[in-house]
Structure formats: C-alpha cells, structure tokens
Amino acid sequence: MPVHDWSRVEDGIFHGFHHLWITTIHGSLNRVLPPGYYALPDQVAGPGHPDVLGLQYSRPPTTAPTGGHPGAVAVAEPTTRFRDTAAPRRPARRRKRVAIRHVSGDRIVALVEIVSASNKATRDEFRAFADKLAEYVDGGIHVLVLDILPPRRKDPNGIHPLIWRRFKKTTFELPPGKPLSLATYAAGQTPRAYVEAAGVGDQLPDMPLFLTPKEHVKVPLEPAYRDAWAQMPDRWREVLDTPAG
C-alpha cells in the first residue's frame, strides 16, 4: 500500500492513525523478535514517552515466547539508501544519560518512535524532540524513528540531520521527491545511522531495529502500515485515497 499524504488532513486525524500504527508495529515486532526479547507500547517512565519499546527479559526465559514466531537476528550490514558511521565515542567521557525505566524491570534495548505533528509544531520543539532521541542513542539504546510527515520549511531535510549532529558533523539532504524519512541508529561506542527516504505513494521498506550493536531484526513497516490503515474510518480513507486536485 502506498504511503499517504498526511498533510492533506488535520493533525488529529494523523494522531489517530499514529496510535493504530504503534499497535500494529508492536504486534509485528513480537512476531519477529528472538526469544528473550519482546515489545510493548509506551510503558516507560522518563522524559518523554517512546511509542514502542524493545525489551530484554531481566532473566532469560526458560521457554520460547508463545503466541508468535520468533524471527532470526541478522548480523549482516543493513542495505539502506544512506549509511553513516560516527567517530568512536570515548568510554571515559561523562555523558548525560536519559533515565528511563520500564515498569516490569526488564531492560530497554531499543525504541521505535513515530514523529507526530506536535513534534514538528515549532523548530524548537522539533529540535528538542530530536535531541531526546539522540540522548537515547548516546545512552546505549538503539532507536528507529519513522517520519512520514512532510518536512516543514524550518527543517527541510527531516529529523535525521538533527539527531546525527550530536555524533558527527556532516551534511545530509533528502533526495528530490523523497521528503519522508525512516532512520535507524545503532548505539554503542561507534554509533551508526541507516536512513531510507520515501515519497508519498511509495511502499515502506522493512527497516532494521538493533538489539545489540551488531545484531538487528527487520521491522515489517509496510504490513503494519496496511493493517493500521484498514482500521481507519472509511470517511478518512476515502479522503486520503482520493487524488488531490
């Protein structure tokens, strides 16, 4: 299913889809995560609330999780459109870490965040949001951020350059006709970024979500988007499926 132009509807309509997509991504992750890991939506105490958490059991499970089919963990380098590696971080450097704890006590290893319209309300809010995600990566938590809302004039290349500036001085531009971005960050001593660009009408690619600095699973974004879309009211599906003009 091609991704829609969510700028055509009010922010509250995307907010509703946002919640549905969170739920379907969470369900998709629990079908691909290996034993010892699971995902939950927004069950964390700390500054800001991530959409989906990837967690590792405090103690290894004695049996494989039920209700799903654990997927294989990949170690090969993800083949996204853009890839970048930061300089090694100094272990002795004192970093400001984000204090986040899950209610279960299990260890948070990864986050999935969907950019909302409220995150982009002003330049300051958008940059503060990007800084929060960079803090997670700097604190050793792997992050996947999905930005399917078109960039605004103040930040024409989306959220990736705002996050990545914490780790490396570089230039980044979204390609013409591809204003939407999907970015994965592998935390660790040498942070890495993997970015895909998409346009309205494109199908969303699978994106890696790291569980360790070297291991990741593929998040099936397109099926999750399709399942969330199927739950939207007919009223708004008709609006967004009708060609503009």
Q: Residue type for 85, please?
A: T
Provide DSSP, 84-132.
Answer: EEPPPPPTTS-------EETT-PEEEEEEEE--TGGGSSHHHHHHHHHH
What are the start-end ranges of the E strands in 6-96?
A: 37-41, 44-45, 52-56, 82-85
pLDDT at 95: 45
pLDDT at 97: 44
Mean pLDDT in order along the chain per 10 residues (245 residues): 90 93 91 88 62 69 46 76 81 46 73 90 89 91 92 85 90 89 94 94 94 92 96 95 82
In this predicted model, what pLDDT tens digit does every residue of 13-38 receive, in sequence order? 999 999 999 999 989 998 988 888 88
pLDDT at 72: 65
Which two structure tokens, joined as six digits, stand for 29? 């992750």
Which two structure tokens, joined as six digits, stand for 104? 């279960």
Which two structure tokens, joined as six digits, stand for 145? 């951020």
Q: How many CB atoms lie within 10 A of CB 153?
A: 6
Element housing 217 (H / E): strand 216-219
| CA angle, residues 68, 202, 213, in degrees to nearest 5 | 50
The CA distance from 126 to 154, in Å, is 10
Q: Residue type for 58, please?
A: S
The CA distance from 68 to 47, in Å, is 31
Whether 143 contacts 53, CB under 8 Å = no
pLDDT at 147: 94
In this predicted model, what pLDDT tens digit does every residue of 44-87 receive, in sequence order? 655 456 676 777 776 655 544 444 445 567 777 887 888 888 88
The CA distance from 54 to 28, in Å, is 12
To which residue do tokens 């989306």 refer?
A: 158
